[in-house]
Structure 1
Amino acid sequence: MNVFTKIIAERLAIPDGQVENTLKLLDEGCTIPFISRYRKERTGGLNEVQVAAISEWNDRLKEMARRKETIISTITEQGNMTDELKRRIDECWDATVLEDIYLPYRPKRRTRASIAREQGLEPLAKLLLRQREQNPERAAERFVGGDVKNAEQALKGAQDIIAEQVSEDERSRAVVRQAFRRGAVISSKAVKAKRDSDEARKYSDYFDWSEPLRRCTSHRLLAMRRGEREGILRVSISIDEEACLAQLCRHYVHGRGPCQKLVEEAVDDGFHRLLCPSIENEFAGKSKERADDEAIEVFRENLRQLLLAPPLGQRRVLAIDPGFRTGCKVVCLDEQGSLLHHTAIFPHPPQRYRMQAKIEVERLVDDYDIEAIAIGNGTASRETSEFVGELEFSHDVKTFVVSEDGASIYSASQTARDEFPDEDVTVRGAVSIGRRLMDPLAELVKIDAKNIGVGQYQHDVDQTKLRHSLDQTVELSVNSVGVDLNTASQQLLTYVSGLG
């Protein structure tokens, strides 16, 4: 059993054998729907959610393994690799701990501490840390020379070295990280110059907001970060710095005296200038990642419900893409979704050709034996629904309001141009609305899932992760429902396991 199997089995509480067999199937190129549906005897009956979780953890661990190779190579080239350090890196499978181990060796830009080391002040820093010297100023005089003009400058350089050591020490980082984990508070304030602007109004709830970070919901955090990105809010994450600093000082400062005072000043500087901002950035990233994951899960479920909405089936449909000034585009579709006829009506302002529109729609319903009417839910949808409700038909016709999110994107796509090369975008959009009523899944797979309108903050989350999650949702939905090979589109077939 390899280390990946053991870690994934522990994290997901799935027996080792089931994880190992699933990883083998994934390595063979099998898709998640295929594994969950047709290889249950090898996975022990794992469902698609469990198989997807194993796949995600496998990818995460592979990425960490590549990162470890880079770290080992870098430290080895520096000549700093030891057997103990190599063992610690090999055994570490926590990304945060791994980066803490690497931090002292990571190539970095020139810092105050690196300049002090170049000036030969590291021995002075070590002397101060031992805290036995009764006259540090006199000891510092031995390091005066070159760019170091006096003892005061030498001591300041030594303090810079100590400050950086404190900020890079694993125990120090663990102390501050624990303080953030237990008591971090996220706060947002309005930028004074933007507070009274029109674009700032939607963020008014966050002009003076604070709450524990662990209780901050994903939608609030994403809203604050969007406001920060737009320059309207200032967002920060803070802790009880005094208590945290006192804990660090207890570790580094021993007794009272001139050396102890210098070390305490260095610890204070390292904490405020380097360590606290570093961990704050880390928690800002982690909280954003958590918010992204929660939001993406909501988007994923919204998309799944859209895709798996009950289809009307093979019925003749009249679809209306509503509008005011440019009118309502009307199309008639047969049972297979093929375009039979299209026209435009103008029942709303400014034209108000209501009677002509009434006569036209009633005629089309009779001529093409229409069984259902699909109305897009965009501009003028309510007015169009009221208009259709006033019409009189010779047979029973059901009316439905259909989401038109992404229809305009589809209408201008290459897929739509290939299907309807001789029609303009308005006709293609109306056709998409009608087909969504007949078979939501078959029609929506033609549109990039991000353009279907699955959530309020979908453009604020990690786009790579969002795309992967939504594509996976489409794939699972298609394979859950199945397709008719005789009528399925090329786009639909690409999601079928073994065909795409």
Structure 2
Amino acid sequence: MQLLNFIKSQTNLPSKGIENTIQLLNEDCTIPFISRYRKELTGNLDEVQIGEIVKYKTQFEELEKRKDTILKALEEQKVLTDELKQKIDVTTDLTTLEDIYLPYKKKRKTKAETARKNGLEPLAKMIMSQRVNDLEYTASKYITNEVETEDAAIEGARFIIAEWINERTDIRNNIRYQLERFATINTKVVKTKENDEKAQKFRDYFDWSESLNRCPSHRFLAILRAEKEGFIRVKIEIDNERALEKMEDRIIRSNNDCSKQLKLAIQDAYKRLLFPALSNEILNTSKEKADEGAIKVFAKNLQQLLLGAPLGEKTILAIDPGFRTGCKVVCLNAQGGLVYNETIYPHAPKNDSIGAMKKINSLVDAYKIEAIAIGNGTASRETEQLIRKMRFNKDVEVFVVSEAGASIYSASKIARDEFPNYDVTVRGSVSIGRRLADPLAELVKIDAKSIGVGQYQHDVDQTKLKNSLDAVVESCVNSVGVNINTASVSLLSYVSGIGSKLAENIVNYRNENGAFTSRNDIKKVPRLGNKAYEQGAGFLRIKNAKNPLDDSAVHPESYNIVAKMAKDEKCTVSDLIGNKELLQKIELQKYCTQTIGLPTLKDIISELEKPGLDPREKAKVFTFNQNIRTISDLHEGQLLPGIVNNITNFGCFVDIGIKESGLIHVSNLSDKFVSDVTEIVSLHQQVIVKVLEIDIARKRIQLSLKKS
């Protein structure tokens, strides 16, 4: 099967779009570049559709690679026939391919292999034919030094038959079908671990049973984690009698001694070979599906987090709160540069709240602070209450900022390189302040799975998780655009076509030669060739450039079109920018060329109307209920303000201003049925929730968004 047909059969996308996208991918074009600047070639495919093409292209290439390996092995064994080759060539999935190869696969020493060496394969064939009337007499002819009795001969023949049955594709597929449709997943607690404190969070699965195909991804992953940690045992079960009957119906055609031996061979094949292998296969398949579901949730959460509302270029005082070790305070300039740091001790045991307030007041005045960012960890509420009691000489907005992953950043090489003369506490405070100014620019410095916005991210396939999250970060960075004169190496490395090495070269060039003044200057960066420039230029912004298009998403390859538009309208390019009335009058048809059509021209007009517009909302101040400080302050029926801080398949978690986040189960999200949590809530959404249930012992809070 050809790559184009394979992808089309999986996606139903237009052939021409698939074909051209494959060509662009083979030319090392990135997904953001293709979706933004090659719409005419792809037929206006979006990032998700192009991502699907990439996925199935990779899948096809892996399949073809495996086919080549198998064909080579079969040629070496001299068993490759035209029929077998044809069978392999037309196969479109890995499972079927492996089933075809199974009879020829080199096996470690097996009972069947030993029986073959003892010359029992002819006897196995005779039993399989079911035409032998006196089986004991026939078996006696195969007695040797290695096979001492008729029973031993028959047993050896059964081992060979069991292997043949195991290798039959129709039988394997029938058991697969039963496992897919009727399998149950059953769990039992390991008795010696029943009272283990760590096991209690898995208490629901100490004695659990449900249909495997109806087990949701979060529950399946929780069960596997409990098994991995040794608290429970997991079994997959189907109706064994039914499975054996279906096998017998396919094999047994007589009622003699042969049929009795075949029945024994079928039981042996099922119990020893088929069920262990295929139940593991269904478990792996279920794990892959669960991983896929969890990764999708994580990716969607990460996208919302990265595209969280930035405060923008403001002077910020950031506080990493603490009790005994004090609150680490830093002052950042509008570009996020560290200009001052100190530790204050407003809380126990020192309780120097007056001294702390004086210090904060003086810093706000001295550094013309416009906003205060407070980390949401230990002592966050106490610090927030202290700050909100203060009266400043100017308007200062106060924000509580998520610290998730800040400690990972502060101990990282990136942080050490940025702040070699400061310790982890100062770096952590800087990260909190910068997150308020621009969440995207700061969060790209942290390993995405450490941010903590998903479910069971450490249990899923780590390669697939990394690929998915990298794609999300790349998409977010390029959708927003990057100021090349202020961006960090981490941020630049996600720009289309750039990567980590070129990002370092850009920053080094900037440090040595000063700010870039035009997009053309980017070409001077060492090792940044024409391809990288083509892929990345449209996503790199240059503020206050001589050519205003350098601070827009208009690609340099289209500058001449904009210049022609301006000339035709008898004005300058600058006159066009922001002039919606004039732009709407332009007849786009006359600017179409062989390579640039209406989709790109419409994008250009949209960009000229609002050049370099940040698609993100602006950060808004939020205040928790000041009377709620611990879980003990809660009571059923309370209405509380909160912020959605995590989304899973089974609901969402809400920060209500205390250490424990509350859960809104999917059934309590709306008065209507909810199939997708993200249809109702988004990450960092501000909500009013109702307290349904409080379990202080287990530190669990049940919340509701229902109006009734």
TM-score by length of 1: 0.98
Q: Which amino acid aligns with 1:390?
A: K
SS at match of 2:69: helix
Q: Which amino acid aligns with 2:233?
A: R
Indicate the residue corresponding to 1:455 in structure 2. 454
Question: How far 1:310 sits from its partner (Å)?
Answer: 1.2
Q: Which amino acid aligns with 2:307?
A: L
Q: Which amino acid aligns with 1:169?
A: R
Question: How far 1:439 sits from its partner (Å)?
Answer: 0.5
SS at match of 2:198: helix
CA distance in 2, matches of 1:378, 1:127: 75
Indicate the residue corresponding to 1:38 in structure 2. 37
SS at match of 1:256: coil
Cα-to-partner distance string for 1:245-297 (whole Å, 9 max, x where unaligned): 10100111112221101101100110111101111011110000000010001
Cα-to-partner distance string for 1:442-497 (whole Å, 9 max, x where unaligned): 11111121222222311000001111111110000011011112211222111111
Is residue 291–residue 460 contact of structure 2 (8 Å, CA) maintained in 1? yes
Indicate the residue corresponding to 1:325 in structure 2. 324
Indicate the residue corresponding to 1:241 in structure 2. 240
Question: How far 1:383 sits from its partner (Å)?
Answer: 2.1
Indicate the residue corresponding to 1:157 in structure 2. 156
CA distance in 2, matches of 1:439, 1:424: 22
Is residue 188–residue 206 contact of structure 2 (8 Å, CA) maintained in 1? yes
Q: Which amino acid aligns with 2:304?
A: Q
SS at match of 1:143: coil
CA distance in 1, matches of 2:347, 2:100: 68
Q: Which amino acid aligns with 2:87?
A: R
Cα-to-partner distance string for 1:329-383 (whole Å, 9 max, x where unaligned): 1101111111111011112222222222122112211221111111112222222
Matches within 5 A, 1:223-302: 223-302=222-301
2:201 is aligned with 1:202: yes
CA distance in 2, matches of 1:24, 1:495: 22
Indicate the residue corresponding to 2:433 in structure 1. 434
Indicate the residue corresponding to 2:337 in structure 1. 338
CA distance in 2, matches of 1:350, 1:12: 63
CA distance in 2, matches of 1:51, 1:230: 39
CA distance in 1, matches of 2:53, 2:417: 39
Matches within 5 A, 1:13-162: 13-162=12-161
CA distance in 2, matches of 1:350, 1:121: 84
Q: Which amino acid aligns with 2:256?
A: G
Q: Which amino acid aligns with 2:466?
A: R
SS at match of 2:127: helix
SS at match of 2:392: coil
2:9 is aligned with 1:10: yes
Is residue 294–residue 455 contact of structure 2 (8 Å, CA) maintained in 1? no
CA distance in 2, matches of 1:143, 1:328: 86
Q: Which amino acid aligns with 2:213?
A: R
CA distance in 2, matches of 1:136, 1:383: 87
Q: Which amino acid aligns with 1:304?
A: Q
- For these two proteins, the number of residue pairs brought into alignment is 499
Cα-to-partner distance string for 1:34-85 (whole Å, 9 max, x where unaligned): 0000000100000000001100110111011110111111111112111111
Matches within 5 A, 1:350-365: 350-365=349-364
Q: Which amino acid aligns with 1:374?
A: A
SS at match of 2:188: strand
CA distance in 1, matches of 2:123, 2:347: 84
Question: How far 1:387 sits from its partner (Å)?
Answer: 2.1
Q: Which amino acid aligns with 2:113?
A: S
CA RMSD of aligned residues (A): 1.1
Query: Greater CA deviation, 180-189 or 457-466?
Result: 180-189
CA distance in 2, matches of 1:281, 1:50: 32
Can you give the 5+ residue segments of structure 1 that lack an aligned partner in the other structure?
none
Indicate the residue corresponding to 2:192 in structure 1. 193
Q: Which amino acid aligns with 2:142?
A: F
Indicate the residue corresponding to 2:479 in structure 1. 480
Q: Which amino acid aligns with 1:421?
A: P
Cα-to-partner distance string for 1:136-168 (whole Å, 9 max, x where unaligned): 111111111021111111111111111111111
CA distance in 1, matches of 2:332, 2:255: 88
Matches within 5 A, 1:277-426: 277-426=276-425
Q: Which amino acid aligns with 2:39?
A: K
CA distance in 2, matches of 1:197, 1:417: 40
Is residue 346–residue 352 contact of structure 2 (8 Å, CA) maintained in 1? yes
Can you give the 5+ residue segments of structure 2 that lack an aligned partner in the other structure?
500-708
Q: Which amino acid aligns with 2:405?
A: G
Cα-to-partner distance string for 1:112-133 (whole Å, 9 max, x where unaligned): 1111111111111111111111
SS at match of 1:491: helix
Q: Which amino acid aligns with 1:375?
A: I
SS at match of 1:19: helix
Judging by fraction of residues, say which structure has more helix: 1
SS at match of 2:208: strand
CA distance in 1, matches of 2:137, 2:229: 53
Is residue 298–residue 454 contact of structure 2 (8 Å, CA) maintained in 1? yes
